[in-house]
Chain A
Amino acid sequence: MKNIADYPSLKRRGFVKLAGSGLALWQLPALGLAATKAPAPRPKIVWLLLRGGLDSLHAVVPAFDAGLMQQRRSLAEPLVDKLLPLERGFGLHPDLKFLHGLYVKRQLAPVVAVATPYRSRSHFEGQDVLESGLAPADHDSGWLARALSAYRGEGLAIARSLPIALRGEAAASTWYPDHLPGADSDLYARLLKLYENDVRLHQRLQEALETRAKVGDLAGRRRPRLQHLAKACATLLAAPGGPDCAMLEMGGWDTHNNQPGRLSQQFGQLDAGLQILCEHLGQTWQQTLVVIATEFGRTVKNNGTRGTDHGTASALLLAGGALRGGRVLGEWPGLGEKDLYEGRDLMPTSDMRAWTAALLQQHWQIPQTQLAAVFPGAKPVGLTLTEGVLKPKVKV
């Protein structure tokens, strides 16, 4: 709808202006919309992918479950007295202070014991299924891209190359902080001309120039931590005519050893990243949903090196000003020996896609028929999850 690619004539003209006068091209389509009526704030989605398999039992800790101490005393014991309280007897890891503040403001809701349809334990396949939203995964079709197609919106990945989640028909670009000084605009113009017969390179360069024109001097750090990526992400999302959704990624969750120390650091970064995201979104936070997902959980028992190995169910963390939070969602399977999946992992009690589908339905008003194309076979959960215009149909 407001996709730049829909305006082929504008594309070239716009670039000439960009190269010549430094005008930010990105804003042109938005101006086109603004001419008809004052733009209403558009609902935004941030999808944060935690790569490596988050141990949810270390994040949203089921302190009420007697199985916790039986299965993983060495990991749980130092934690249980310091947990930040949630409902149903769960507790949040003490390094997730900002997230807990959101929970108190009803802007955070963990969903426990969720999984994708994937049931083996490979990171790479697991992430592909998570990003694709299909099992088996399709490397050229991501769930977020399909959702964007249905919503007719634009997406952005804070990454160097387009992740699977945003691959497909939809308009999606990438941005990543660099600290090389830009080449002079004449070189870009000449390369655009040289790429005239090379559709892909031409399109990529054009997208990149548009995004750079918008981000300006945000680029910086050598090794960007989540905070820096989140800041750029928020600035891009909140700008006039900015994209409708953004994808962020954070690695380092594959805690096979020394889990307590490593997760403490990871949670600290995650927490700070969310805080920066919230602060820099400003008013836009109120229209934003943040969905934090991981490819799978980890073994309920600790392994022989103070860590955990690859498992099955984990947690989904929902946040944002648009969320109806302040609760812990999802059915709890229990941690008794017989409750576990294949005798070792947290048992999934719901499909992660059913929650994401419900969010798309309520936040972006994507109708059921189109949701089936986003997440084939996943029925949206029947709970009101957002503070949006849709009134609750089902009592929570």
Chain B
Amino acid sequence: MSTATLHRTSLFDRHVQAGAKMVDFGGFEMPLKYAGETIEHLAVRNAVGVFDVSHMGEVFIEGKEALLALQRLVTNDAARIKDGQAMYAGLLHEGGGFVDDVIVYRFSPTRFLVCVNASNQGKDFLWMRAVVAGAGLDCVVRNESDRWSQLAIQGPKAADVVATLCGERIRDIEGYHFAAMPVLDDEDAIVARTGYTGEDGFELYVKNSVAVALWDAVLRTGAVPCGLACRDTLRLEAGMCLYGNDIDEEHSPLQANLGWIVKLDERPPFIGHAALVAEKAAGVPRLLRGLEMIDRGIARSGYEVQDAGGTTIGVVTSGTQAPHLNKAIAMAYVARDHAAIGGEVHVVIRGKPLRARVVKLPFYKRPAATA
């Protein structure tokens, strides 16, 4: 893809001025790293970092039957969360595979924000609109992705940064909750205690017009600018899936170790419900597992997983040398019969089968707050 066709966020000039290495991600020209992926990764684990995640899409669903629309669209139960609460969910097709993985923010039973992946933005919007129209539901699906910028402020000191900018009341926002409140000159911003790093953190949704001022203000607090490279290693340590790597239209949430975002009972069925019920009854054929290398080597996306006899039993979907844990970790789909936690498998690295341990996800869990 030529750079001429790539989208840019409102912060593009800031990234270039800061000397960031820019890459194509999901159709956007985004910062891969500034000072370096390891430094940035450790800044988020130990203090606080800030990410431009304005490439993420924002789709609003509003109207009398908005709640019914969400119940039709996503695997998690939008009736079970309260106003001001968020939830992680799958947007599935009829076959049970992921159209996308999303975060749903509930303002009220008649107003929801669905945060979607950049690369899936167009597809998701058309899908949601078609489903709502097909069911004849009384609500509007609006793609506002071009109007919103999003900054993720992540790390044990994230609350201090956000409190400096938005006031002490943000400390009362619980995990996976949010508040509609002013941020700088944006009267209708959203401060959410969500993230994709495994740390405490916030995602600030603001209009494009205040993005640069907010970015500058966050950097003045000492937060370290962070790129997509460390976002990927942080989420992998935290055992979180990346759409296009670990989940896609071919894999269901039951396979992806995401049964906890699937509510099959006591709610109206979502699209893909029947497929998941059938998959559960038949037995899930493969499971997403954590792998830790025993032999010296790094498992990477696409590498084959074998049993001790050399039979193919799965494939690696993400893998790296984890900067904080300082060991080679990976996620892989493994045939159910070989997916037992604690078992040993082989990852084929440059033709050599190297030993790895099947481990429970996540690899990293942040220490409980002591304050």
Query: Do A and B come together as binding partners?
Result: no
Q: Which residues of B contact A (CB under 8 A)?
A: none
